[in-house]
């Protein structure tokens, strides 16, 4: 359970302690039994992909989901009773709402809330996540494009043989805000490479992202969120066209 990225400030301790107690109660209920939790509760996580909005607090109705979320950070899944919620991204330490939306959450479902775009156009988008493992021998990858400066991109899963294996793109022409949906590919070890749309991937290609190799076991379900490349020394600016990738765990084989 993730409720705070940094230590909370003294001015809001009473509210935060209440939120922590409420979250602990939900967690204790969830731990009674996996089947009971899956049947009776929804799960929500929050990812902050806005490079210039500053640190935020995330709320559902008047209760906190997370505090002190900074650019490129995310929470774990938080259990929530099914129902309709007002979700808000507030300036950290205040109740000044920067973005607000409504969502109806269903029991037994997992959701991702992305707080993204620039501060002047800040928005929340809710995605329904895949909560069951990929088929045996496969992994499921979903790509969400939240990088504001890169333009449309093609995304490759590069196997251990590297670019010499002439991999085909996993998804092409992803524009800002695009969601590829879940795509099944064979289990294995891959690096994520991102290039401007229409750019072929060869050993000499200059990429927007040349990711590290990661091993994905059979059944793994992952969401890859592309975000702006943070400029060193300035956490609120993203002035280069490069991208970073947040890889979020949605599900694994039991």
Domain ranges of the chain: 10-129, 138-251
Which fold, 138-251? Immunoglobulin-like (2.60.40)
Q: Regarding predicted confidence, which is higher, 41 or 6?
A: 41
pLDDT of residue 29: 33
Same fold? 10-129, 138-251? yes
pLDDT digits (tens, 9 = 90+) for 127-137: 999 999 999 99
Look up the pTM and report it.
Answer: 0.82
Which fold, 10-129? Immunoglobulin-like (2.60.40)
Q: Is 113 exposed, middle or buried (0-12, 13-18, 19+ CB in 10 A)?
A: buried
- CB of 211 within 8 A of CB of 192? yes
Neighbouring residues of 33: CB distance < 8 A, sequence distance ≥ 6: none
Report how far residue 9's alpha carbon sits from residue 140's, in angstroms, rounded to the nearest whole number.
40
């Amino acid at each position: 359970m993730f409720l705070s990225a940094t230590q909370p400030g003294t001015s809001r301790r009473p509210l935060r302690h209440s939120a922590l107690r409420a979250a602990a109660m939900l967690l204790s209920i969830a731990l009674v039994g996996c089947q009971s939790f899956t049947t009776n509760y929804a799960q929500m996580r929050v990812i902050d992909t806005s490079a210039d909005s500053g640190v935020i607090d995330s709320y559902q109705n008047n209760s906190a989901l997370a505090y002190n979320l900074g650019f490129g950070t995310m929470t774990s899944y938080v259990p929530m009773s099914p129902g309709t919620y007002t979700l808000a991204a507030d300036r950290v330490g205040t109740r000044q709402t920067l973005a607000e939306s409504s969502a109806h959450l269903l029991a037994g479902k997992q959701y991702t809330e992305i707080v993204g775009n620039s501060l002047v156009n800040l928005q929340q988008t809710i995605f329904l996540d895949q909560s069951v493992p990929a088929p045996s021998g496969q992994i499921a990858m979903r790509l969400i494009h939240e990088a504001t400066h890169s333009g449309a991109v093609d995304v490759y899963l590069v196997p251990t043989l590297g670019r010499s294996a002439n991999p085909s793109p996993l998804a092409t022409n992803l524009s800002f805000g695009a969601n590829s949906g879940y795509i099944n590919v064979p289990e294995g070890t891959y690096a994520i490479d991102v290039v401007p749309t229409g750019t072929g991937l060869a050993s000499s290609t200059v990429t927007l992202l040349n990711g590290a190799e990661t091993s994905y076991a059979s059944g793994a379900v992952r969401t890859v969120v592309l975000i702006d490349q943070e400029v060193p020394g300035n956490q609120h600016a993203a002035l280069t066209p490069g991208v970073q990738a947040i890889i979020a765990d949605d599900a694994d084989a039991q």
